[in-house]
Amino acid sequence: MPLPRTPALTVDCVVIDGEGRLLLIRRKNPPYAGKYALPGGFVDVGETVEDACRRELKEETGIKAGRLGLIGVYSDPRRDPRGHTCSVAFLTRIVRASPKAGDDAAEAQWVKHWSTLELAFDHARILADARRKLRSPGAHR
Residue 116 CB partners (closer than 8 Å, separation 6+): none
Backbone region of residue 106 per phi and psi (left: phi > 0; alpha: psi in -120 to 50; beta: other values): alpha
74 belongs to a structural domain: yes
Check whether 140 has a pLDDT greater than 90: no
pLDDT score at 52: 98
What is the CATH classification number for the domain harbouring 18?
3.90.79.10
pLDDT score at 111: 97
CB 35 within 8 A of CB 124: no
- Give this prediction's pTM: 0.93
Query: 48-82 pLDDT, tens per residue?
Result: 999 999 999 999 999 999 999 999 999 999 999 99
The residues with which 73 forms a beta bridge, in sequence order, are 88
Nearest to 120 by CA among 135, 106, 134, 133: 106
1 belongs to a structural domain: no
Distance CA 129, CA 112 (A): 18
2 belongs to a structural domain: no
Does the annotation mark 118 as catalytic?
no
pLDDT score at 122: 98
Domain enclosing residue 81, as ranges? 8-135
Number of domains in the chain: 1
pLDDT score at 138: 62
DSSP state, residue 92: E
Q: List the catalytic residue out of 47, 50, 59, 107.
A: 107
Query: 85-135 pLDDT, tens per residue?
Result: 999 999 999 999 999 999 889 999 999 999 889 999 999 999 999 999 988
141 belongs to a structural domain: no
84 belongs to a structural domain: yes
